[in-house]
Amino acid sequence: MKKSEYIMKAVFLTAAAMSVLAVALICIFLLKGGLPAMLEIGPVNFLLGTVWKPGNDLYGILPMIMGSLCVTAGAILLGVPIGLLAAVYMACFCPKKLYKILSPCVQLLAGIPSVVYGFFAMVVIVPFVRDFLGGSGNSMLTASILLGLMILPTIIMQSEASIRAVSNTCYEGSLALGATKERSVFKAVLPAARSGVMAGIVLGIGRAIGETMAVVMVAGNQPRMPKGILEGVRTMTTNIVMDMAYATDLHREALIATAVVLFGFILVINLTFNLLNRKGEKKS
């Protein structure tokens, strides 16, 4: 093996090790700062408590957990079907001239800052929901619509790349057996691109559940159990951002413990999708 190959191998190994080290350091920081507070408050009181009043030493984050889950679920219901169908269209049905317009637009959506999305939602989505559906407009529904819009470019780009990576023999073989173009795409090509599509969905969910600034601007930020899609909610990320500036002692540690719970949700989501993806590959 040439000397240059040894050098490049060491560079790649170092880069991979740095990624693992970064994740390990984050885990250590979160666990060191959050677990003591969780134990002092009590895991049950912390995770299942419904009252968040730091001034009274009440640190129940169940309303924020439910708010994050509800808003993320709404974003998934809106964003995943639209993103997946858009990716299929762009990869299999879109004319080349139109694709030259759509592709840069999707890439531009991915580069728009969160605060710009939030401002757009405040000016457009919030008044629309308030005028046509009722309520204040700052609600779970508004946050779900906004997050559904924000995860679209991630799902579209990842899914499109995965669909294009599938060998043409799958598509051509399906056509040769008499299937229509649409059936060939959805029954042959799309299942073959399952791994990449699932990865795009996971990345989209990760962005939805971890989004902060845009959600702060439109969700209502009320630390109470969700009562309806037109009522305000507070997510775990917004709870951390809104309180961290003035939090001290146990209050600050409780916010770090909230970050531990959020980190755990991300791990569970990734593990779940990996297991589902492996089961799907075994069946196919």
**Domain of 104: which CATH number?**
1.10.3720.10
CA–chain centroid gap for 255, Å, is 20
The answer to whether residues 11 and 98 belong to one domain is no
Segment 205-224, tens digit of pLDDT: 888 888 888 888 888 888 88
247: in domain: yes
274: in domain: yes
- At 21 the pLDDT is 93
- At 1 the pLDDT is 59
Structural domain span for residue 258: 61-283
Segment 104-131, tens digit of pLDDT: 999 898 888 888 999 999 999 999 999 8
Question: pLDDT tier at 18 (50, 70, 90 boundaries)?
Answer: very high
CA–chain centroid gap for 122, Å, is 21
Segment 58-110, tens digit of pLDDT: 888 999 999 999 999 999 999 999 999 999 999 989 888 999 999 999 989 88
Question: pLDDT tier at 147 (50, 70, 90 boundaries)?
Answer: very high
Total domains, the chain: 2
51: in domain: no
